[in-house]
């Protein structure tokens, strides 16, 4: 089969590393009710998406979040906002897969809805050293699935969308990529299955 893809554009959360609000909040409290409350207020709130869009700071989000929480959880909230990123576990199988793609001279790019704090912890993850470029929503004030974020990557690196494959765990983001001519792979957490797909199309 002909190799269709020369460039691979990866999402970050639940692709390159685990992003589990349940796991993250459980690192800061063992109380089940508090875990559910923190998870709902922090990770399901509008402020979190605005943080990814780069239109609000962590301090502002923390202040707004504490206003919705009982006083007894304020210290926990502060600690969670300070350290939550330390509990995003790397997907080691995906790191190896990205390394293998890079060794074959494919273009490797990141397209993630992420806050600017990403740059403070990215060096903790081996996988990012294999990337040609990193695009996060906070820098552009644009989030997936807005087509502008995909077009930014295509234009910046003069990529033909027909040569690109976008890998994400959220179908709506894949549809956004499809809308600018980029094919998508809906990643379900099974890295072996993704590797088998790449082997089938003779990429690996």
Between residues 126 and 50, the one the model is more confident about? 126
Could you tell me if residue 65 is inside a domain?
yes
Residue 137 and residue 105 share a domain: yes
Q: Are 143 and 123 in contact (CB under 8 A)?
A: no
Residue 130 confidence class, pLDDT cut points 50, 70, 90: very high
Could you tell me if residue 1 is inside a domain?
no
CA nearest neighbour of 84 among 13, 27, 17, 169: 27
Which of 56, 87, 118 terminates a domain? The answer is: 87
Domain count, the chain: 2
Residue 101 and residue 160 share a domain: yes
Mean pLDDT of the region 85-107: 97
* Radius of gyration in angstroms for the set of CA atoms belonging to the chain, rounded to a whole number: 18
**What per-residue confidence (pLDDT) applies to 27?**
96
Tell me, what CATH number does 111's domain have?
A: 3.40.50.1000
% of the chain residues with pLDDT over 90: 90
Which of 87, 112, 135 terminates a domain? The answer is: 87
Residue 154 and residue 181 share a domain: yes
What is the DSSP code (8-state) at residue 42? I
Q: SS3 for 36?
A: helix
Could you tell me if residue 2 is inside a domain?
no
Peptide bond into 145 cis (omega under 30): yes
Residue 131 and residue 54 share a domain: no
Express each pLDDT in 31-40 by its tens digit. 999 999 999 9
For 192, residues 6+ apart whose C-beta sits below 8 A from its C-beta are 93
Mean pLDDT of the region 31-58: 91
Which of 87, 107, 124 terminates a domain? The answer is: 87
Residue 2 confidence class, pLDDT cut points 50, 70, 90: low
Whole-number mean pLDDT of the chain? 95
Q: CA 191, CA 54: separation in Å to the nearest integer?
A: 30
Residue 108 and residue 49 share a domain: no
Give pTM, 2 decimals: 0.94
Q: What is the CA 140 to chain-centroid distance, rounded?
A: 15
Q: CA 198, CA 195: separation in Å to the nearest integer?
A: 5
What is the span of the domain harbouring residue 45?
Answer: 21-87
**What per-residue confidence (pLDDT) applies to 1?**
52
Residue 122 and residue 50 share a domain: no
Residue 12 and residue 34 share a domain: no
**What per-residue confidence (pLDDT) applies to 65?**
93
Residue 30 and residue 13 share a domain: no
Mean pLDDT of the region 97-105: 98
7-10 and 164-168: which strand pairing? parallel
**What per-residue confidence (pLDDT) applies to 3?**
66
Report residue 13: phi and psi, to 5°.
-65, 125
């Amino acid at each position: 089969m002909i190799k269709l893809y020369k460039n691979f554009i990866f999402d970050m959360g639940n692709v390159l590393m685990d992003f589990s609000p349940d796991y993250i909040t459980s690192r800061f409290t063992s109380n089940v009710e508090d875990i559910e409350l923190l998870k709902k207020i922090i990770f399901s709130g509008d402020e979190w998406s605005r943080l990814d869009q780069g239109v609000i700071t962590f301090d502002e989000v923390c202040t707004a979040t504490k206003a919705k929480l009982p006083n007894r959880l304020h210290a926990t909230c502060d600690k969670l906002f300070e350290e939550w990123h330390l509990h995003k576990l790397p997907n080691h199988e995906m790191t190896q897969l990205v390394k293998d793609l890079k060794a074959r001279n494919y273009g490797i790019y990141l397209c993630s809805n992420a806050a600017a704090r990403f740059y403070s912890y990215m060096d903790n993850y081996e996988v990012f050293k294999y990337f040609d470029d990193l695009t996060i929503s906070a820098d552009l004030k644009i989030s997936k699935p807005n087509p502008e974020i995909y077009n930014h990557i295509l234009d910046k690196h003069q990529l033909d969308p027909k040569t690109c494959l976008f890998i994400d765990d959220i179908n709506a983001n894949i549809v956004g990529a499809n809308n600018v001519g980029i094919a998508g792979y809906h990643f379900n957490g099974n890295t072996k299955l993704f590797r088998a797909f790449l082997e089938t199309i003779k990429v690996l």
